[in-house]
C-alpha cells in the first residue's frame, strides 16, 4: 500500500509548505503531485493534510506517516551510500571554496553530515574571497565552488541549489522602513554596506542600482554579517543581503527587511563542479545533502524553476 515515493512526497510537502513548492522540488507538476496524494488517500481511506492551508496542516494520519518518513528516509540514504561504497568510489578528494559570505550558515552542517558519511574522502574548505575560485576549479585546484555568479568555463557544470530573494536591511526607525518596497532612487543619499567583493559580483549594484544609473552616497564594507547588522540597526547605513541570511535578524526585530523593487530581486545559488566529477558517488551525495540542508534550515529559499 505504501511506497517510498509516498514518504518522499509527504516529506517534501512538509519542508516546502505548499503543493507548488513540493512539486518543484520533486520535479513533478502540481497536478501529478495532487493526483498522487489523492490516490494514496483513497487507498488509505483517510485524508493526510488539509487543503488550502498555509502553513500546511497535516491530519493525524499524515503526521504518523511523516514519523515513518523521518525514520525511513535517512536509513534509505545511508543504505544508498553503503551500496555506493561497495560499488567503488568511496575515496577521493573534495576541495571546495565559497564565494558567498553568508553561506557558512548552512554549508557547515552539510559538511559535518558529509564527513560522517564519507570518512575516506579528503575534505577541505577555503574562502574564495581572496582569490578567483572558478578559474582554480577549472585548473583542477578545486573540486566544487558555491557561487551565485556563474561564468561560462569549459568543463564546468553549474548545479542549481536554490533560488533566494535579495533584500535591503534598514533600521527600524529608518525613513525607508515604512515603504512597501525600495526603488533605486531611495538609495541616493544612503550609505550602502556590502561584503568586501567586487561590484560586478553584487546583485544590488549590477541588477538594481546600475540599470537605473544610481550611485549611493557612500559604500562601506564589512566581512562579518553580525557587524553589518549592528551598523544597520544603529542607523549608520543600509545593507543588501539574501533574505535567508537576513531573516535571523529581521525576525527578532533588530532590523527591517525591505523588498528591492516592486516584484523583488531574485537570484540563484549554484554549486560549480568539474563535469568529469559529477558522477562520483560522493559528489552526488554532497549535492543532495547540500540541497536537503538548505531547504530544511534556510527561510525564504525555493526550488529553482
For residue 213, the tally of other CB atoms under 10 A from its CB is: 7
Q: Are 74 and 68 in contact (CB under 8 A)?
A: no
Residues 235 and 278 in one domain: no
Residue 166: name the closest of 206, 134, 130 by CA: 206
Residue 251 has pLDDT above 60, yes or no: yes
CATH code, 52: 1.10.10.10
Residue 304 has pLDDT above 80, yes or no: no
- Pairing relation of β-strands 92-98 and 144-147? parallel
Residues 129 and 168 in one domain: no
Residues 225 and 157 in one domain: no
Q: How does pLDDT run across 24-75, given as a tens digit for each residue?
A: 888 888 888 889 899 889 989 999 998 887 788 999 999 999 999 999 988 8
Residues 170 and 149 in one domain: no
Answer with the residue of higher pLDDT: 130 or 126: 126
Number of domains comprising the chain:
3
Residue numbers of the domain that contains 129: 91-161+268-302
Residues 202 and 244 in one domain: yes
Which of 33, 54, 85 is a domain's end point?
85
Give dist(CA 147, CA 156) in Å, integer.
Answer: 13
3-state secondary structure 52-83: CCCCCEECHHHHHHHHHHHHHHHHHHHHHHHH
Q: Are 90 and 120 in contact (CB under 8 A)?
A: yes
For the chain, how many helices (H) and strands (E)? 10, 12
Calculate Rg over the CA atoms of the chain: 21
Which of 36, 55, 85 is a domain's end point?
85
Q: How does pLDDT run across 280-296, given as a tens digit for each residue?
A: 888 999 998 888 888 87
CATH code, 113: 3.40.190.10
Residues 175 and 245 in one domain: yes
Compute φ and ψ for 231, nearest 5 degrees.
-65, -40
Residues 36 and 173 in one domain: no
Residues 43 and 77 in one domain: yes
Amino acid at each position: 500500500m505504501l511506497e517510498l515515493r509516498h514518504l518522499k512526497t509527504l516529506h517534501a510537502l512538509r519542508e516546502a509548505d505548499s503543493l507548488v513548492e513540493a512539486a518543484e522540488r520533486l520535479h513533478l507538476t502540481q497536478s501529478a503531485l495532487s493526483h498522487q496524494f489523492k490516490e494514496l488517500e483513497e487507498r488509505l481511506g483517510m485524508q493526510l493534510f488539509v487543503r488550502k492551508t498555509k502553513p500546511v496542516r497535516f491530519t493525524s494520519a499524515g503526521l504518523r506517516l511523516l514519523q515513518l518518513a523521518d525514520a525511513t528516509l535517512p536509513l534509505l540514504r545511508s543504505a544508498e551510500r553503503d551500496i555506493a561504497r561497495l560499488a567503488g568510489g568511496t575515496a577521493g578528494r573534495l576541495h571546495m571554496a565559497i564565494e558567498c559570505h553568508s553561506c557558512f550558515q548552512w554549508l557547515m552542517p552539510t559538511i559535518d553530515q558529509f564527513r560522517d558519511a564519507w570518512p575516506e574522502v579528503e575534505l577541505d574548505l577555503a574562502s574564495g574571497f581572496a582569490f578567483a575560485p572558478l578559474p582554480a576549479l577549472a585548473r583542477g585546484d578545486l573540486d566544487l565552488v558555491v557561487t551565485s555568479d556563474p561564468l561560462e568555463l569549459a568543463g564546468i557544470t553549474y548545479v542549481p541549489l536554490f533560488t533566494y530573494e535579495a533584500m535591503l536591511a534598514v533600521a527600524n526607525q529608518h525613513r525607508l522602513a515604512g515603504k512597501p518596497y525600495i526603488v533605486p532612487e531611495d538609495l541616493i543619499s544612503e550609505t550602502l554596506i556590502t561584503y568586501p567583493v567586487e561590484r560586478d559580483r553584487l546583485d544590488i549594484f549590477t541588477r538594481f542600482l546600475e540599470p537605473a544609473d544610481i550611485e549611493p552616497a557612500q559604500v562601506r564594507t564589512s566581512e562579518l554579517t553580525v557587524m553589518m547588522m549592528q551598523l544597520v540597526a544603529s542607523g549608520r547605513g543600509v545593507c543588501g543581503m539574501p533574505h535567508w541570511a537576513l531573516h535571523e535578524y529581521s525576525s527578532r526585530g533588530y532590523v527591517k527587511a525591505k523588498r528591492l523593487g516592486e516584484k523583488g530581486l531574485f537570484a540563484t545559488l549554484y554549486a560549480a563542479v568539474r563535469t568529469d566529477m559529477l558522477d562520483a558517488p560522493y559528489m552526488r551525495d554532497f549535492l543532495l545533502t547540500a540541497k536537503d540542508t538548505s531547504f530544511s534550515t534556510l527561510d525564504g529559499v525555493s526550488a529553482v524553476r
